[in-house]
Amino acid sequence: MNALTPNRPAAPAPVGLLAELTHRCPLRCPYCSNPLELDRRSGELDTATWQRVLKEASALGVLHVHLSGGEPTARNDIVDITKTCADLGLYSNLITSGVGGALSKLQALYDVGLDHVQLSVQGVDAQNAEKIGGLKNAQPQKFEFAAKVVELGLPLTLNSVIHRGNIHEVAGFIDLAVKMGAKRLEVAHTQYYGWAYVNRAALMPNKAQVDESIRIVEAARERLKGQLVIDLVVPDYYAKYPKACAGGWGRKLMNVTPQGKVLPCHAAETIPGLEFWNVTDHSLSEIWHDSPAFTAYRGTDWMKEPCRSCDRREKDWGGCRCQALALAGDAAATDPACSLSPLHAKVRALAVEEAAENPPDYVYRTIGSNVRSPLKEEVHS
């Protein structure tokens, strides 16, 4: 039941649920969008609670469930959870690193009705890939995993997060996707949240590199029409307009953390003062329609200028709230990735400056690391 409060914008049903089943992961990617404070195994939701959440998601109108993490196959109950998706008619997408226990569980996941696999690849050259992912011998495991996915007849998407450490390999990623038999490739320039924000100077490419990567993708799209679909996510800091982050706040997606907090996007916890409800206390429907976090930036009423009077406000919904907070110091500000933001020129200059410097070492993603953002500059100060 949609319990709308007067003046509160109506919420269409969410399309997708990102189920962050665990933050445990054998890889340690420095661009990970998970929070710096990662949830520990002892606090993870149990199987029955996840199954109840999936049931509530289905009743709410969710169509796609992204089984993610961390590494979702690190959970012993991943097959049961996937089966619940299938029983409920939810389209299940396993977002995996393909290492650790992923291969040993794949047949069982297929048998219970897994619909799709999205496999991350950190690089093309094995040495480079394993340096980025922080795990030796990961590359052969990924290749073996991908071969098994294709052998089973499951649709395979490769996800490559692009940054200055692998941007020279964009053409290689495309060749790799074709060789592996993937149906889709995501060439996703790093979005700077979570660990990626901490590592921004180590990851930021320069504008010429970005332009060249776009040119390579566009040429490949033409060449591989009908064979491989390539999705391109351009880097915010060099963009003209921001993306509609998470499809717009509280419009399409719900993100459930390993401990059951429900977020409108993966970085929402960085915004101070927001109250996140937990699936152990509230139904998903209550959370979607009425929780303070989901209603905070839904619609357009909260917008300030220039978004408030901009004709793109219902296209990109003002960009990313978390990025606005990080860069402008105000989650309700126009995302500084937008060229209409008064801070845009500073943000662009920051990217240019960082890309020109020698990259610092990666700060690898680790549970219990006490890492805090080391960035000193704030463009709003």
DSSP secondary structure, 281-296, as one string: TS-HHHHHHH-HHHHH
Instruction: Choose the one of ligand SF4, ligand FES, none that binds residue 267, judging by a C-beta under 5 to 8 angstroms depending on kind.
Output: ligand FES
Which CB, 102 or 310, lies closer to ligand SF4?
310
Report the nearest approach of ligand SF4 to the CB of residue 310 (Å): 3
- Work out whether 274 is an interface residue with ligand FES (CB under 6 A): no
Assess 247 for contact with ligand SF4 (CB under 6 A).
no
Q: Which of residues 309-338 bind ligand FES (CB under 6 A)?
A: 320-323
In the set 26, 100, 318, 336, which binds ligand SF4 (CB under 6 A)? 318
310 binds ligand SF4 (CB under 6 A): yes
Dist. CA 151–CA 90, nearest whole Å: 23
Beta bridge partners of 231: 186
Find the binding residues for ligand SF4 in span 185-244 (CB under 6 A). 241-242
CA angle 67–97–235, rounded 5-degree value:
85
* Residue 268: contacted member of ligand FES, ligand SF4, none (CB under 5 to 8 Å, by partner type): ligand FES
Nearer Cβ to ligand FES (34/159): 34
Under the binding rule (CB under 6 A), the answer on residue 313 touching ligand SF4 is yes
Query: Rounded CA gap, 202 and 196, in Å?
Result: 9
Contact by Cβ (8 Å): 318, 335: yes
d(CA 288, CA 307) in angstroms, rounded, equals: 24
Q: Is 302 in the site for ligand SF4 (CB under 6 A)?
A: no
Q: What is the CA radius of gyration of the chain?
A: 20
Give the one entry of ligand FES, ligand SF4, none that residue 124 binds, where binding means its C-beta sits below a cut-off of 5 to 8 angstroms depending on kind: none
Question: Is 198 one of the binding residues for ligand FES (CB under 6 A)?
Answer: no
Peptide bond into 70 cis (omega under 30): yes
- Between 134 and 318, name the residue whose CB sits nearer to ligand FES: 318
Interface with ligand SF4: number of residues (CB under 6 A):
14
Residue 32 annotated as lining a ligand binding site: yes
- 162 vs 307 by CB, closer to ligand SF4: 307
265 known ligand binder: no
Strand order of the β-sheet with 16-20 is 229-233, 184-189, 156-162, 116-120, 91-96, 64-68, 16-20, 253-256, 262-263
Pair 367, 37: CB distance under 8 Å:
no
120 binds ligand SF4 (CB under 6 A): no
Please provide residue 285's backbone torsions phi and psi, each rounded to the nearest 5 degrees.
Answer: -65, -45
Which one of ligand SF4, ligand FES, none interacts with residue 91, CB within 5 to 8 A by kind?
none
Tell me the β-bridge partners of 185.
Answer: 158, 230
- Find which of ligand FES, ligand SF4, none residue 296 binds, CB within 5 to 8 Å per kind: none
The residue range among 166-174, 189-197, 228-236, 334-342 that interacts with ligand SF4, by the rule CB under 6 A, is 334-342
Contacts (Cβ under 8 Å, ≥6 apart) of 326: 192, 193, 197, 270
Closer to ligand SF4 by CB, 114 or 333: give it: 333
Annotation-wise, does 245 bind a ligand? no
- Residues sharing a CB contact under 8 Å with residue 90, sequence separation 6 or more, in sequence order: 54, 57, 58, 62, 63, 64, 65
Piece in contact with ligand FES (CB under 6 A), picked from 56-64, 228-236, 264-272, 352-360: 264-272
As measured in angstroms, the least distance from the Cβ of 249 to ligand FES is: 6
178 vs 173: CA distance, rounded Å: 9
Pick out the residues of the known binding site: 25, 29, 32
Which residues are annotated binding-site positions for [4Fe-4S] cluster?
25, 29, 32
The residues that touch ligand FES, with contacts defined as CB under 6 A, are 193, 245-246, 265-268, 320-323
